[in-house]
Chains A and B, each alone.
Chain A
Amino acid sequence: MKPSSFRYAVPTTLRAAIDIRAASEDSVVLAGGQSLIPTMNFRLANPEVVIDLRKLDELNYIRVGGGMVRMGAMTRQRVVEEDAEALAANPLIRETLTNVAHPAIRNRGTIGGSLAHADPSAELPTLLTTLRGTLTAQGPSGRRSIPATEFFEFIFTTALEPDELLVEAAVPVLEPGEGWAFTEFARRHGDYAVAGVAATLLVGPDGRISRARLGACGIATVPALLTECEELLTGNAPGDELFAAAGQVARDAVTVSDDSATTKAYRRHVLAGLVERTLKTAMTRVGVPR
């Protein structure tokens, strides 16, 4: 057997899950298992306790309302991808999800699992960060909301306390006529990307960009907000030259160093092209009725 042995806890309520999380020195939370089980198969993780959330139906939901799309932590990625209401409210969610690994992975992988895992090269953390979404944690002392921009602290490290569970992720709905796009570059479709970019563009009645949101994965120790690009774009008339300039500005956001497959210089180059391409795609959707 690949994983080492562990105590296996199957709570049927969120309260019980939090209790056992709080009471365990060395526990891991099993959601969809698409990142955790590989690390256990390699015995990179040898937890004493595995807390399997599979019976927590209370964390399996998609709710659209109040200007937000709220997703329970145990909602499968593929279910969100196929949800018509979520698509109508915020099509960037689906476009982002189709870049997460492969269908067989997304059928099992959960929204909360990917976010709590906090891989900076993953797409969902970048979506939450770019849209300034909110994560909800619950622990023994109650619930709290954490802005996505504060949730991701480092590689595989979040603002969750050891006794807290991630219970919900929420992103705002897009404005009518707001453009959107997610683009990434990977060696094989579905692999971890060399870099990926999420963007939204809102153009005002004066023909100028009134709001631009940009974020990227794969380039830093956390999902990166490309704030300098956002500032460059906002207030200006959209166009190919402006988008190309934004790509050049984005290069300096790459802080990871060379790895075995990709140099930093190459990653900067890829990011510049991706930012430009993503903005162009987002622009084609500006003002288009959904």
Chain B
Amino acid sequence: MSEVTVFEPDEPVVVEVEVNGEPVTAEVPSRMLLSDFLRQRLGLTGTHVGCEHGVCGACTVHIDGRPARSCLTLVAQTDGRSVRTVEGLACADGTLHPVQRAFKECHALQCGFCTPGFMMAVAGLLDERDDLATADDETIREEISGNVCRCTGYMNIVSAVKRAAELSNERG
């Protein structure tokens, strides 16, 4: 095997990536961002594109189970990896993920633009921490500080994080 593969600027890169549990094989330009790939090639427009330089968090997805900015990732970098988007949060039978239920119950969205990114960030957070149901607001605010809500609806988002943690703990 050659020790380096070089793709010319107009030469497509073949990427094999698992998206929401389904294997996807695609030929993409090397410069294509994961966010654009998800939206334009796969039609997964739940992943929103805000600032496109990693500040707003709207494009947050999971790569290998961990939250990441899809606007700061080339699709080519996800070759051989798994990606989960907001479309992959609910169960196949339509049962909502605890984070989705909590956002709905707590009215944690206004215009909804930031919501998919917030939910992916919070879903990742719940995988790592089981103490958020009783955490203080400051802790929660720090944990979600990587996502910006342009409606400034943070109060209900903080409530939703606590509620999601409760629902998640109930589910075990």
Contact = CB atoms under 8 A, between A and B. Distances in A.
Secondary structure dominating the interface of B = mixed
B4 A12 contact: yes
A190 B144 CA distance: 10
Given A12-B1, A105-B146, A107-B66, A1 B74 contact: no
B4 A16 contact: yes
A248 interface: no
A38 B6 contact: no
A188 B77 CA distance: 29
B74 A37 contact: yes
A9 B8 CA distance: 9
B74 A11 contact: no
Given A8-B7, A52-B77, A1 B36 contact: yes
A37 B74 CA distance: 8
A101 B142 CA distance: 11
A11 B7 CA distance: 11
Contact of A104 (B4, B7, B9, B69): B69
Contacts of A50: 30
A189 B71 contact: no
Interface string A21-46: 00000000010011001101110000
Given A6-B9, A188-B145, A108 B3 contact: no
A42 B8 CA distance: 22
Interface in A65-122: 78, 101-105, 107-108
A101 B72 CA distance: 14
A105 B4 contact: no
Nearest to A3: B31
B77 A7 contact: no
Nearest to A48: B9
A108 B53 contact: no
A1 B31 contact: yes
Among all A-B residue pairs, the 3 with the closest Cβ atoms: A102-B146, A8-B30, A16-B3
16 contacts: A3-B31, A6-B31, A7-B8, A7-B9, A8-B6, A8-B76, A9-B7, A11-B4, A30-B77, A41-B33, A41-B53, A41-B72, A52-B77, A104-B68, A107-B66, A108-B73
Interface of B: 1-10, 13, 29-33, 36, 52-54, 57, 60, 63, 66-69, 71-74, 76-77, 121, 124-125, 128, 141-143, 145-146
Interface of A: 1-13, 15-17, 19-20, 30, 33-34, 37-38, 40-42, 50, 52, 54, 78, 101-105, 107-108, 188-190
